[in-house]
Amino acid sequence: MAETLRPDLCIVGAGSAGLSVAAAAAAFGVPVVLIERGEMGGDCLNVGCVPSKALIAAARRAHDIRQAGAFGLGTLDPQVNYARVREHVHSVIGAIAPNDSAARFTALGVRVVRASARFVARDTLEAGNVIVKPRRFVLATGSRPAVPAIAGLDSVPFLTNETAFDLTRRPEHLVIVGGGTIGLELAQAHRRLGAPVTVIEAGRALGREDPELAAHVLAALRRDGVAIRENATVSEVAGEDGDIRLVVENRGTRTELKASHLLVATGRRPATDGLELEAAGIAHDERGIAVDQHLRTSNRRVYAIGDCAGPDGGGRQFTHVANYHAGLVIRSALFRLRPRVDMRAMPRVTFTDPELAVVGMTEEEARADGGRITVLRWPVAENDRAQAERRTEGEIKVILGRGGRILGCGIAAPGAGELITPWTLAMTRNLRIRDLAGHTVPYPTLSEISRRVAMSYYTPSAAKPMVRRLIGFLRRFG
């Protein structure tokens, strides 16, 4: 006989978004049921952010060894053991996993149900031998790799971000379909670990990013030896494990490309299969579950957050967006507040080397929005710490509106994901460029590029005749 539960909240999905809601609600003493059919921690822990950054870290060490000659040290060719690299990646996952485990959340007072969930009515959900009738539902089911319609792909072994971290041998030639963030991060990592890598992108690689900033990243990947074919599509795939043949089309020309391994990195789609959302009256499509600006679905009992939420949830599939959504839902479901989704100051980072971090508008978006803008730039090569570490690729680019209002910032630089933080805070708090110019940063640090670009806003003022006359007048007083 099925057990019936009547908690305050029922959360479906134990990834970043669902776990954040569950932990916060439990901390306030709210009865919570958490349902997960797969691994606790979701994609971010098991097949996404954590393993990819662990792989990138290993690849960076190999790259540093090769570059040691620039510092007067002996140059070596690192001996890369893919099996040991895999062990490193999975040991990092294992170190973090207890924080997301069923045991920890059970200890917090959350009822954890390990089963697939499906709606049987607008107010009822079934999971295994449990029936749940809560006051509110939170759907946090995440996303999974989107597989393109390529002839023959269904009969050829290929990798996605969910399987790419299990390689135990170096690929003889890794071909990656997709030149977005995931594709390029993995391309550079595998190239630095010694594998020949080719990236095929239907449009422009890093196409959603500012072309000036993206150019720094693409140049670095090409220097590493990654072959990047832009404006090219894969029309056919055939072969078997270790011997895959791809037909690549570029401006009417067809060429054949051979690969030992094929990685598909063409985006992600919301994971809503099996939920039977129709039974609960929840509107959805291929873009995700339809939500309003408060993350409520067409069923007012149900919220959708994280990757499974549709475009009105922000349309960005990042862990920090999922955590942001979780905070909004806690305020709404527990405290009856009405916070709205606001993505204007939501950062994003591509963790290549150099990294590419962006918050707010790009120059193209700001010009399309209308109004007068000012564009500030400062090269990383003008930073003393960057010179000392011989990592001078990149620049910072800031978009300002009237009165020095910060509309956006993009940084292509080592550690750009860290360097973007003060700009995110500035936009969140409606600070102006003078606030960034006036703060002090330690020397020598990469953070100086933010202050220098902010100070450059005032450089034209120094040449104004009126300003010079004022200074001359004040000098007369000693």
- Residue of 301, 299, 329, 300 whose CA lies nearest to 313: 329
CA torsion 307→309→314→318, rounded to 10°?
-10
- Taking the C-alpha atoms of residue 413 and residue 394, their distance in angstroms, rounded to an integer, is 5
Instruction: Tell me whether residue 312 is annotated as binding.
Output: no
- Taking the C-alpha atoms of residue 138 and residue 126, their distance in angstroms, rounded to an integer, is 14
H/E stretch holding 458 reads: none
Give me the number of domains the chain comprises: 3
Q: Are 6 and 134 in contact (CB under 8 A)?
A: yes
Instruction: Tell me: do 305 and 173 sit in the same domain.
Output: no
Instruction: Tell me whether residue 210 is annotated as binding.
Output: no
- Residue of 94, 91, 64 whose CA lies nearest to 78: 64
Strand 3-5 and strand 130-132: pairing? Answer: parallel
- Taking the C-alpha atoms of residue 183 and residue 160, their distance in angstroms, rounded to an integer, is 10
Instruction: Tell me: do 263 and 273 sit in the same domain.
Output: no
Instruction: Tell me whether residue 255 is annotated as binding.
Output: no
Looking up residue 380, the CATH number of its domain turns out to be 3.30.390.30
Name the domain boundary from 267, 290, 318: 267
Token pair listed for 466: 């009126």
Instruction: Tell me whether residue 371 is annotated as binding.
Output: no
Q: Are 12 and 280 in contact (CB under 8 A)?
A: no
Instruction: Tell me: do 259 and 277 sit in the same domain.
Output: no
Domain around 214? 153-267
Q: Are 186 and 161 in contact (CB under 8 A)?
A: yes
Looking up residue 23, the CATH number of its domain turns out to be 3.50.50.60
Instruction: Give the Cα-Cα-Cα angle 448, 449, 451 (nearest 5 degrees).
Output: 65
Residue showing tokens 């097949």: 47
DSSP assignment of 341-410 equals: ---TT--EEE-SSSEEEEEE--HHHHHHT-S--EEEEEEGGG-HHHHHTT----EEEEEE-GGGBEEEEE
Residue 60 in domain: no
Instruction: Tell me: do 251 and 377 sit in the same domain.
Output: no
At 432, the amino acid letter reads R
Token pair listed for 400: 């300002």
Instruction: Tell me whether residue 182 is annotated as binding.
Output: yes
Instruction: Tell me: do 137 and 11 sit in the same domain.
Output: yes
Instruction: Tell me: do 134 and 276 sit in the same domain.
Output: yes
Q: Are 114 and 37 in contact (CB under 8 A)?
A: yes
Q: Are 195 and 225 in contact (CB under 8 A)?
A: no
Residue 404 in domain: yes
pTM (2 decimals)?
A: 0.94
Residue 387 in domain: yes
User: What are the pLDDT tens digits along the chain (478 aa)?
Assistant: 789 999 999 999 999 999 999 999 999 999 999 999 999 999 999 999 999 999 999 999 999 999 999 999 988 899 999 999 999 999 999 999 999 999 999 999 999 999 999 999 999 999 999 999 999 999 999 999 999 999 999 999 999 989 999 999 999 999 999 999 999 999 999 999 999 999 999 999 999 999 999 999 999 999 999 999 999 999 999 999 999 999 999 988 999 999 999 999 999 999 999 999 999 999 999 999 999 999 999 999 999 999 999 999 988 899 999 999 999 999 999 999 999 999 999 999 999 999 999 999 999 999 999 889 999 999 999 999 999 999 999 999 999 999 999 999 999 999 999 999 999 999 999 999 999 999 999 999 999 999 999 999 998 766 667 766 666 666 777 6
Residue 59 in domain: no
- Residue of 356, 359, 358, 357 whose CA lies nearest to 342: 359
Instruction: Tell me whether residue 203 is annotated as binding.
Output: no
Instruction: Tell me: do 239 and 376 sit in the same domain.
Output: no
Name the domain boundary from 225, 240, 267: 267
Instruction: Tell me whether residue 133 is annotated as binding.
Output: no
Residue 466 in domain: no
- Taking the C-alpha atoms of residue 188 and residue 170, their distance in angstroms, rounded to an integer, is 14
Instruction: Tell me whether residue 410 is annotated as binding.
Output: no
Name the domain boundary from 215, 232, 267: 267
Token pair listed for 324: 């942001």
Residue 225 in domain: yes
H/E stretch holding 235 reads: strand 233-240
Residue 474's pLDDT is: 67
Residue 462's pLDDT is: 62
Instruction: Tell me whether residue 298 is annotated as binding.
Output: no
Instruction: Tell me whether residue 152 is annotated as binding.
Output: no
Rg (CA), the chain: 25
Instruction: Tell me whether residue 20 is annotated as binding.
Output: no
Instruction: Tell me whether residue 183 is annotated as binding.
Output: yes
Instruction: Tell me whether residue 253 is annotated as binding.
Output: no
β partners of residue 101: none
In 177-294, alpha helices (H): 181-192, 211-224
DSSP assignment of 460-471 equals: HHHT-HHHHHHH
Instruction: Tell me whether residue 314 is annotated as binding.
Output: no
Instruction: Tell me: do 331 and 360 sit in the same domain.
Output: no
Instruction: Tell me: do 136 and 283 sit in the same domain.
Output: yes
Instruction: Tell me: do 311 and 382 sit in the same domain.
Output: no
Residue 178 in domain: yes
Query: Residue 200: which residues within 8 A CB-CB, separation 6 or more?
Result: 175, 176, 177, 178, 179, 229, 232, 233, 234, 246, 248, 257
β partners of residue 11: 34, 138
- Taking the C-alpha atoms of residue 381 and residue 389, their distance in angstroms, rounded to an integer, is 11
Instruction: Tell me whether residue 200 is annotated as binding.
Output: no
- Taking the C-alpha atoms of residue 449 and residue 316, their distance in angstroms, rounded to an integer, is 28
Residue 62 in domain: no
Q: Are 411 and 448 in contact (CB under 8 A)?
A: no
Instruction: Tell me: do 193 and 161 sit in the same domain.
Output: yes
Instruction: Tell me: do 180 and 252 sit in the same domain.
Output: yes
